[in-house]
Structure 1
Amino acid sequence: MHGVKRVRYSREALEAKKQKEQAKLKEYLSLNDDVLAKRNAGDWSKDAFDLTTRVLHANAEFYTVWNYRRDILINSIFPNSSPSEVHDRIGDELSVTTSLLKQHPKVYGIWNHRRWCLANIPDGPSDTDLDGWRKTIWNKELYVVEKMLDADARNFHAWNYRRYVLANMPMKRPAQAELVYTTRKIEANFSNFSAWHQRSKVLTSLWEGGQLDPHKSKEEEFDLVKNAMYTDPGDQSVWIYHRWLVGAGNAYDILQREIASIQELLDEQPDSKWCMESLVFYKRLLLRHHARQLSEADRLSLTQECLRLLTGLQDIDPNRRQRYEDLAADVKKIN
């Protein structure tokens, strides 16, 4: 790797390093054999539980062991514990997964175990406050996942988990607050596709719930995405979000306006692949959905412009030449 100083080992040091790695591998394989033997024997003891902890710290992707760990909790530990003790045990499990996530932030098994923990929080702390423990832990989860996204804003595992938390927490967080959060993440990094995706989910929910005027807020979104386009026209996530905003292309005026805006950007960035691809995409929508509003000369002009752009794309992006040739054939069929 660039910038990493190479270390030269003596023959003796290499041999010692090799023996150490072999010893670790031998120990790990022995742990695997032990934990699988206990699982197959239906052993739900504390020793078996502690063994799963050791194995998962060595290999957090061992999904069978995560399942075995949950079996021990469900069949042995929880039935013999008070609600308060179960609550504390859930807290311990979340702490274990937090520690593992710091080393392995994109391992499915860790995130899945965390979801399982949230689903098994007992009622309490009292008969008059049955959701108290749940509220506290779920609110903390939102804080934890925000810290994970501060460390890696594009960790899709963390974004998926965030959606799960927001959708299921006992006291729902206002969707407007999540819109503010995605704005902050996007403005920090326009290439954060996960944040754009989350934004589309939040906006859809707000529109369907009547909490935002679709027309007004979409215009604000077009302004936001236009700023992102001009900042980094080579970023794919921005263009995908723009296509989501345009939708099926039923709004003739919006299509015409956005085509003109992208053309302005292409005039400044004549080799922009995404500008060219988007112009072809939106002009094809015009030809497909608004042919009656176009004169024969306009339709011919749009067809010729699409073919010219697709020829240019073959030169700029030769690895996808066949795709552009197929699109050109499709354009000819439309007209």
Structure 2
Amino acid sequence: MSETNRRIRLASRPVGVPQPEDFIHDDAPIGSPGEGEVLLRTRYLSLDPYMRGRLSDAKSYAKPVEVGDVIVGATVSEVVESNSAEFSAGQTVLSYGGWQSYSVEPAAHLRLLDPEAAPVTTALGVLGMPGFTAYSGLLEIGRPQAGETVAVAAATGPVGSAVGQIAKVKGCTTVGIAGGPEKVAYLEELGFDVALDHRGDDLRGALKQAVPQGIDVYFENVSGPVWDAVLPRLNTFARVPVCGLAAGYNATEAPAGPDRSAGLMRNILTKSLLLRGFIQTEFVESMFSDFLRDMGQWVREGKVKYREDITEGIDNAPQTFVGMLEGKNFGKTIIQVGE
């Protein structure tokens, strides 16, 4: 094979917003699969907010990327060579090849995709980890009931848009919060009952006017000023699945201003609130098969729509990644690596 493996590796741990010098672009020989392994050519690379945490060495739920290593990430890949009876050349799989054009992975870690059933990119979005994050967090922790009000921030992203549409399927009033008029218009297109711009002058006032009945479930993706506006609107016994804290991912110090933890604890106590952080992997064994069945059906029926933001070229991954963290993406952020 005459080609080489184009890679993007971590050069240094970013301080604040990742900079171009934090990434190494290089080429390496293409590996060969050992027993039970498969050589894959990357077609699509998923970019997700959680990756920012993996570039840090702060203690978290997953091991950080080591300086010098290829950056992690889910991929849709083509099987080039297989040393496993489970896969053969030419098949398309969901993998975890990271930021590189080729990878060698254990066959046990791969999931076969059917390009006839759905576009393969959906395995990185609405029918993949983001969609399952929305499904599991909302249904297992949020437990929305028909007639309740469900709110979600970053509502045009792959997780937030799925949360709102699943809540609608369940008979709830849905409130989407996003940044900018174009994204707010898209929320209306998706069928959200209320669509608000967090970049407006008074999100707290807008929420009070739009949902005088209060909020029963708030799916937390961002924290920061959006959370400050939502907290006073939470009803007694409201549930808050905590999925992400994107507003602070590039922060280098604690937020300025007074310590609001006492007020938060008072709300938790007096309103009997449930705040529950989660990582979607804890629900895979119990819920993933149901997710594939339900979400697949909802997508086919048009009850759940999705949008993808695809950029060509693996060398564009760093700048696209930074843009995503700043809210410049519109839908599921994907890098097209190969044809």
TM-score range, shorter chain: under 0.3
TM-score, normalisation: structure 2? 0.25
Identify which of structures 1 and 2 has the higher relative contact order when contacts are C-alpha pairs closer than 8 Å and 6+ apart: 2
Larger Rg: 1
Greater helix percent: which structure? 1
TM (normalized to structure 1)?
A: 0.25
